[in-house]
Structure 1
């Protein structure tokens, strides 16, 4: 089902071009995800020096970001119900404020508050942009618009990758992120179209359709596991690369690989159509876990670090896309509900995973932490049991995958 099919024929047939909405949406997603949410991991060593942070506090601060993200997700449906355009702009403003607060923070308390606001922007932006596409782009072009808009995550990661090499302290760099976020948000306010009708808030019928808990639980377990396994990499991968004696340049190229190789995750939908959701998911989970575990090696070398990052980026974005396919299938009358459940569960997993990874790193070190994280990822093989397996999808069930 194409979200927004139940809107008026006039809206479905509107001739408005899709690419301006996609490009501006991608730019806002890039600053909210690439800058405000995920760039934290790039600068963990510098944050630690400035605020005298140990691994436990570093993990806790990463968890604060995820808490903000979850709060944003919870608020986003109601916000998009009133105005998807306003929700998108509030996301950009929240990211801007958070980044600026982090840049000028005199202590770890204000720094954490900035992290919270920045994370909230990431939670708000994807539902806002997705709904805006439904409201302003003709039906036949929405798949392209949604797909291109969601490339903002990988683009944002790639754009921030080389910033640690700049001959500046982290505060000017972070202030620069805030300025870019402000400019992008202002451009979005000037250029994003308004909805052409005053239809239903979500563009979806509220018919009360709910999947049985037995069908929803496997999706939630998969999403929680995805969040828990990804969190240590986002938080500690840069620190681990430095710990094994590799240069800042290697860490930079590794982060760039997460974003650039992650763009290849767009092929996941076609693979699912051919091999099914379970087979595709388990293959990706296995390769992804192996890629994460590469950083557990005492001497992964530059090639190992970059390969690990590329596999992580592609795997994370592909598995997020599979969560979207899974959730949309469970809520055929209202696909966004399933996606929201999946993303909230992933946020819970990331919150727990960040704190647990910090505690584990404090006790055992980063190498064993990445080894245990890779092993944890193999828990996805529980999907071989029918009670934990994803549904069998048909070609008609496949929305375009998107990175979260």
Structure 2
């Protein structure tokens, strides 16, 4: 059990790359990609949905790999998928290369996250597990801030976006190397519960609230990450700065807001799971409304991005430790089931939203997504304590 901090650091680094530049890089640089590759809104939505489909496929492969080989192999695959995919984007000369590189890079998010539930089960004391999983999940915040800061730094260069993606690729290589070491020689533990009937347990009624919030946030968050920067740019950008700088500013604020995810376990212990989930979807609602209505106002954009970042990080932590409580004998498979529902929402969100924007406009589509977050608040059950299978901190 001496591997708590190496695992937490390695996991945070892996999620920083996989859920930072590898997953949000396309949305961050979408205005540049529009110019370079003459992308339409619907075409951009299809590429974004394809990337999330790659994430979904990798999740399924990862569950199988972890059961057979443990967490080290899929995390390594994720690091090298990010390296290869982002390298292809960096040298891409046409839409096909852009789409393929984006999708390949996005698979890293499916490979790199859920294995750490298995690793934490094997290498982290139970008293420290929720905090370690929160740290691992919140690594995304650092990755998003770093990606936004780098985009800001290279914004004035003629081929700055290509430089940024080369640096992203090198970060993926470093993360893979760190985790090959951090995940070596984990203690082996034999599951105490039979894996027979695991599929039925994944879809049993106690899991429904968790799966529902994963689907809801998957739909709204994927649309936000894919089109927020584009909406700001099409609306004229932020006053006082070049339009190209609006995206980096948004993502830096988004990542900074995500720092609150480090405290998810502590907040849950104080106010309970039900209040936490309803509160975070309230943040999602406000974030979407602000982005839809006032995309070129500094205060509205910064608050919107920070709230969306908080939603990403807090819900990521909730997905991780709630699924572990529900499925203690099958931590990776249980977490994969939750992420699969999240990924399904990711796949549908940008594609449906991209086509809906043709009639509603991007502003109207952001408002429609806000309605979905409101419905989630109203429908989330008040008896989550009982549904969490004995978790007395819910």
Deviates more, 1:242-251 or 1:40-49: 242-251
In the other structure, the counterpart of 1:162 is 149
Asked if 2 retains the 8 angstrom alpha-carbon contact of 1:327 and 1:337, the reply is no
1:221 aligned partner: 212
* Paired position in structure 1 for 2:353: 357
The match for 1:370 is 366
CA shift for structure 1 position 392: 3.6
Give the 3 Å change call, closer, same or farther, for CA 156–100 of structure 1 in structure 2.
Answer: same
1:72 is displaced (CA, Å) by: 1.1
Shift of 1:249: 3.7
Q: Aligned partners of 1:319 and 1:230: how far apart in 2?
A: 11
- Structure 2 unmatched ranges of 5 or more: none
Q: What is the alpha-carbon distance in structure 1 between the residues aligned to residue 131 and residue 385 of structure 2? A: 25
**Residue in structure 1 matching 2:195, options 199, 206, 213:** 206
Q: Secondary structure at the match of 1:151?
A: helix
Indicate whether 1:101 and 2:88 are aligned. yes
Task: Name the TM-score, length of structure 1 as normaliser.
Answer: 0.85
Contact 2:148–2:251 (8 Å) recurs in 1: yes
Match of 1:344 in 2: 340
| Structure 1 vs Structure 2 CA RMSD | 2.7
Contact 2:45 2:354 in 1 (8 A): yes
Match status 1:43 vs 2:18:
no
Further displaced range: 67-76 or 371-380:
371-380
The offset of 1:347, in angstroms, is 0.5
Tell me, which stretches of 5 or more residues in structure 1 are unaligned? 1-13
Distance 1:129 1:171 in 2: 31
Distance 1:367 1:314 in 2: 22
Cα distance change of structure 1 residues 24 and 197 upon mapping to structure 2, 3 Å threshold: closer
Q: Secondary structure at the match of 2:20?
A: helix
| Alignment check: 8 A CA contact 1:97 1:114 kept | yes
Contact 1:95–1:121 at 8 Å: present in 2 too?
yes
Q: Residues 394 and 111 of structure 1: is their aligned pair in 2 closer, same or farther, counting only changes over 3 Å?
A: closer
**CA distance in 1: counterparts of 2:393 and 2:91, whole angstroms:** 42
Asked if residue 261 in structure 1 is aligned to residue 257 in structure 2, the reply is yes
Match of 2:318 in 1: 322
Superposed CA offset, 1:290-321 (max 9, x none) = 12110122565111100100011112322333
In the alignment, what sits opposite 1:296?
A: 292
Deviation, 1:68, is 0.7
2:179 aligned to 185, 188, 209, which one? 188
For 1:196 and 1:364, locate their aligned partners in 2 and report how far apart those are by CA, in whole Å: 52
